[in-house]
A and B are shown apart, each in its own frame.
Chain A
Amino acid sequence: MSNEKNIRIVRGVSKFAGSVNKDITLKPLLTSDERTLIQGDRNLVLNLSDQFDFERDYCTTYRMYGKLDILYNNIISGETSNSNFLGNMYFTPAHLGCPDPVAYPSNPSAGPPCVGMPTAMAFDFIPTKIYGDSAAASTYSVLSAYTDNWVVYISYISDSNPDEPMRFYTEYDTPSYMDFIASDGIPFTVEVVIDNSGRETMRFTTPVPHGVSPGEYIELQSTPTVGGPPSTANLMTDISLTYTTPGGTFTTQQNLFKVDSLGNEFANTDEYVINVNTVGLDATSIVTNPVGTLKRIINPNNTIESKSNYYSHTHKLITTPNDYTLDRTGFEVGVYNKKGRVFKSKKTPLNFPGTTTILEEYKSYTWVCTLDIDVDGYYDNLNRPLTDLYLTVFPTNRNLMWNYQAAGSPAGYGWDWNFRKIGMIDPFVDNDTNPSNVIQSNNSGVSPLPNSGSTYRGAFVEYNGLELEERIISELGYSLKFNKDVMYEVGTGSGPAGPEFVKSIYKYRPHNRIPIRKLSRSIRTNDALFTAPQYSVYSLADNTFRWRPILPIEFYDDNTNGVSYPYLNNAHYPHHNLEFIVEPILHNYTAQTINVISTFIDDCE
């Protein structure tokens, strides 16, 4: 046995010549960490379910796939003489078409130039031919047609940009605006009202959801700048308040206010309207045409942690244009009927044969990312493991449908307040002055196509350090303006300035979120970093490390907060159906542009 070794203990001097005695202390402890290996103890019971969960949790490879349903309203019309475009155009009025002026000399609408809309192929994911500008250099290839209009990527949020420049227009007729950067917070306008209780109230209205709750605080910012004609917009920063107390009258400059209530007299306005009851507003406290930005503060005694940070996301592409396949679904078509018309040759211009033009068709496509995405090496802007991947869609414009010439990009960009449907087109989204960084330098379309590793701006976001949570304030939108070589504003072709751009534009969302994991609704704390995840945040107020744990797959901590998808072949298969919406932003047309029927007054009144 183990104690049978012949061990002899001798004094130091007895060991070898010159050796001395040493005091040796031995503390016989009554504890031992030795454990005998017993054969039966090492038996393991295999549990298929546990083993599956173990392998699935260990796996970090994702194979993305899903369905793309395109939804649009092909409603923006224009005028054109472009020969290739005319051959594919949907003429209006459809019953007249665009007849030959020789055959119909008395018809004032005989063309060209012809008026109408582009074919449905302009929005399609796989067009069937070159349908756009005659000057397009691209030739049609069946294999690469899936990148003629759009190109699809998988991206993730790699960084954030608090210095992202933004502009908020308060007036379009005589343009008046406020320039600010993302870290300035959420734009607002303000007015003073008397509420139902007769109290003086500052009413802040934001163009995007403000995310503030009653009892929390807002802080007005002084860094934005206003632009436009004098006194059309004025920055609201510190507000002068005068208090009269038994001790005297005091005037203070205040930029921090407690929120008393939300909403106004209209329904569903809580997310956009903040009410602050005040006392002692000076006559000049509220400037004319006030505008500004605000930040949310949960606890004014702990502003370091509880004041929200505002920034824009930065997306980095993971895949290349060659890393996905796109095909028509076998049996599915969109919810709306296909709309089209046969234009016989007498309804087409001279030398144009009769044609069948599809105006709207809502096709479905299946997309499969052929690149296995190992998220192990990726971290998001907050140094957390990835919880979202994004399906990023860019225009490629090989048919030159969209304006790109002035600034070298087929798309502009903006956030929700830049795409308000009020009958005016926000100048900020004009890609001539504010292009996206999808680059098109010639008539071959976007070439080369963006590659993996490229970065693009994304949503406008609030992050609150106390809540350890991001909130999307506004998704990024891309604007598409017609190339006037293809289609220009009706009636401007023979004008002194030449053809003008079609004023109305299209808008779509380039980055579409695909959740792959979810963060818990609850926050965990720990005193030591080595037992907390690397993305935990040290709280000065609590002296603890805090974080939101990542939920296991198929674990829901409420009805919606969780993910579930198949796991096989040592990979996760998240499925995402994207409704890809291209919506028109119309000039001189608003939701309110309807014929209001005069109030009926009967004879008794």
Chain B
Amino acid sequence: MTANKIHMKVSLDEKQVTIPLGQSFDEIGREQLIETWEEVELQDNINFIQDYETTRYTHYNPYDDYKIHYKFLFFSAGSYYDDFNILGYKDYELARTRQSFKNSFFKFDFYDSPVKSEQKLMFTSVMPANNCRKEQKLISFSEDPVEYWSQMANLPPIPTPMPMYGVYVPDAILSPEQGKNENYYIQWLKNRDLFTGTSFYMSCKFYNAKDGKVIRMVTQAPINPGTGAIVPGPYSYEDWFFYQVILKIDSGNAPPKYRYTVHPFSSLNIMSGVVSNQTGTMVGDEIMFYEYIAT
């Protein structure tokens, strides 16, 4: 048997002994509640974990091998042209991808709302000008005599020799294929907790490295359909500047799982709540951007 030897010493100061009676209060449960409360308070005060994981969204276009088609038109002398010559580029500069052209780019801004007073810029993407398509064009003798005569010397005399080279035109067809996919994918959050919206409103500007100017683009040709005359700006933001880009996570098994589509947009869509048909899916149904004409 074990026995504890307890010595009780007399203290002159202590005149009473407090004997606690056994209590059956639920102190343990209360302690757990306090610990839980502590954890909650702790998490609230330091941070809550936010998921910034992004993934790539692919253009959904099974009708044309998932390509996306863009077309840009620039204004000159009362008309719009899909030609970089209007911006001051010579054909030989476009054919040889001179630095001034190589450093030019289209910048796409994606906003959370089409209403200017409410919108926030969510993200931006950049498409280099040399992502555009090349088109065969006759060489101008006066502009590039060296290339002209060089080709003339090597071409057979019959039929009439026609020296040509590939010249960039403001028309881009992007696809998932390697080398053609710059600015094709959209990188955005996988988890929609941080931003629950699925629609973005895309506007475009062209940054011209030739002269350093920035050209704002609109989504419709500002031409009066009755008179054919140019309707100069300013234009309503909701009606003129944006395409609606819808991001979707598909639950099926067909790729792509993370996909986006582009739709024409105007204030009518806001009022009706209806989304326009998808655009940019084929030649003849391109995503069109026109140079903004300032008053």
A residues lining the B interface (CB < 8 Å): 27-35, 37, 42, 44, 46, 51, 55, 63, 141-144, 147, 320-323, 325, 328, 368, 370, 372, 448-449, 451, 569-571
Check if B177 is an interface residue, CB within 8 A of chain A: yes
Check if B131 is an interface residue, CB within 8 A of chain A: no
What is the interface of chain A mostly: helix, strand, loop, or mixed?
loop
Q: Please tell me if the beta carbons of A32 and B65 are within 8 angstroms of each other in the complex.
A: no
Q: Please tell me if the beta carbons of A32 and B49 are within 8 angstroms of each other in the complex.
A: no
Q: Please tell me if the beta carbons of A34 and B23 are within 8 angstroms of each other in the complex.
A: yes
Interface size on B, residues (CB 8 A): 36
Question: How many angstroms from the CA of A544 to the CA of B192 in the assembled complex?
Answer: 48
> Which of B21, B53, B255 meets A29, CB within 8 Å?
B21
A480 to chain B, nearest CB (A): 24
A323 to chain B, nearest CB (A): 7
Instruction: List the B side residues contacting A570 at CB < 8 Å.
Output: 49, 51
Q: Please tell me if the beta carbons of B27 and A143 are within 8 angstroms of each other in the complex.
A: no
Q: Please tell me if the beta carbons of B253 and A141 are within 8 angstroms of each other in the complex.
A: no
> Which of B53, B176, B253 meets A449, CB within 8 Å?
B253
Question: How many angstroms from the CA of A144 to the CA of B22 in the assembled complex?
Answer: 74
Beyond A63-B53, A328-B178, A449-B253, 10 additional pairs, beta carbon < 8 A: A28-B22, A29-B21, A30-B20, A32-B21, A32-B23, A147-B255, A321-B255, A322-B252, A322-B257, A368-B55
> Which of B27, B52, B55, B256 meets A34, CB within 8 Å?
B27
Instruction: List the A side residues contacting B31 at CB < 8 Å.
Output: 35
> Which of B23, B66, B175, B253 meets A33, CB within 8 Å?
B23
Instruction: List the B side residues contacting A451 at CB < 8 Å.
Output: 253
Q: Mark B1-32, 1 if CB is under 8 A from A, else 0.
A: 00000000000000000011111010110010
Q: Nearest CB to that of B178 among chain A residues? A: A328
B residues lining the A interface (CB < 8 Å): 19-23, 25, 27-28, 31, 34, 38, 42, 46, 49-53, 55-56, 58, 65-66, 175-178, 190, 250, 252-258
Q: Please tell me if the beta carbons of B257 and A323 are within 8 angstroms of each other in the complex.
A: yes
B50 to chain A, nearest CB (A): 8
Q: Please tell me if the beta carbons of B20 and A143 are within 8 angstroms of each other in the complex.
A: no
A321 to chain B, nearest CB (A): 6
- Which of A46, A51, A321, A322 has the most B CB atoms < 10 Å from its CB? A322
B203 to chain A, nearest CB (A): 27
A437 to chain B, nearest CB (A): 18
24 A-B interface contacts by CB (under 8 A)? A28-B21, A30-B19, A31-B22, A32-B21, A32-B23, A33-B27, A37-B34, A44-B38, A51-B46, A63-B53, A141-B66, A142-B66, A142-B176, A144-B255, A321-B255, A322-B253, A322-B254, A322-B255, A322-B256, A323-B257, A328-B178, A368-B55, A448-B253, A569-B53
Given A34-B27, A144-B255, A320-B253: A370 in contact with B22 (beta carbons within 8 A): no
Q: Please tell me if the beta carbons of A44 and B23 are within 8 angstroms of each other in the complex.
A: no
Q: Please tell me if the beta carbons of A42 and B27 are within 8 angstroms of each other in the complex.
A: no
Q: Please tell me if the beta carbons of B19 and A370 are within 8 angstroms of each other in the complex.
A: no
Instruction: List the A side residues contacting B38 at CB < 8 Å.
Output: 42, 44
User: Using a Cβ cutoff of 8 Å, how many contacts connect chains A and B?
Assistant: 84
Question: How many angstroms from the CA of A370 to the CA of B256 in the assembled complex?
Answer: 11
Q: Nearest CB to that of A46 among chain B residues? A: B46
Q: Please tell me if the beta carbons of A32 and B253 are within 8 angstroms of each other in the complex.
A: no
Q: Please tell me if the beta carbons of B65 and A29 are within 8 angstroms of each other in the complex.
A: no
Instruction: List the B side residues contacting A142 at CB < 8 Å.
Output: 65-66, 175-177
Given A34-B27, A44-B38, A569-B51: A29 in contact with B66 (beta carbons within 8 A): no
Q: Please tell me if the beta carbons of A27 and B22 are within 8 angstroms of each other in the complex.
A: yes
B33 to chain A, nearest CB (A): 12
Q: Nearest CB to that of B66 among chain A residues? A: A143
Q: Please tell me if the beta carbons of B49 and A325 are within 8 angstroms of each other in the complex.
A: no
Q: Please tell me if the beta carbons of A32 and B42 are within 8 angstroms of each other in the complex.
A: no
Instruction: List the B side residues contacting A44 at CB < 8 Å.
Output: 38, 42
Q: Nearest CB to that of B52 among chain A residues? A: A569
Q: Please tell me if the beta carbons of B258 and A370 are within 8 angstroms of each other in the complex.
A: yes
A275 to chain B, nearest CB (A): 54
Q: Nearest CB to that of A126 among chain B residues? A: B178
Question: How many angstroms from the CA of A226 to the CA of B254 in the assembled complex?
Answer: 47
Question: How many angstroms from the CA of A55 to the CA of B53 in the assembled complex?
Answer: 17
Instruction: List the A side residues contacting B46 at CB < 8 Å.
Output: 46, 51
Question: How many angstroms from the CA of A105 to the CA of B168 in the assembled complex?
Answer: 49
Instruction: List the A side residues contacting B256 at CB < 8 Å.
Output: 143, 322
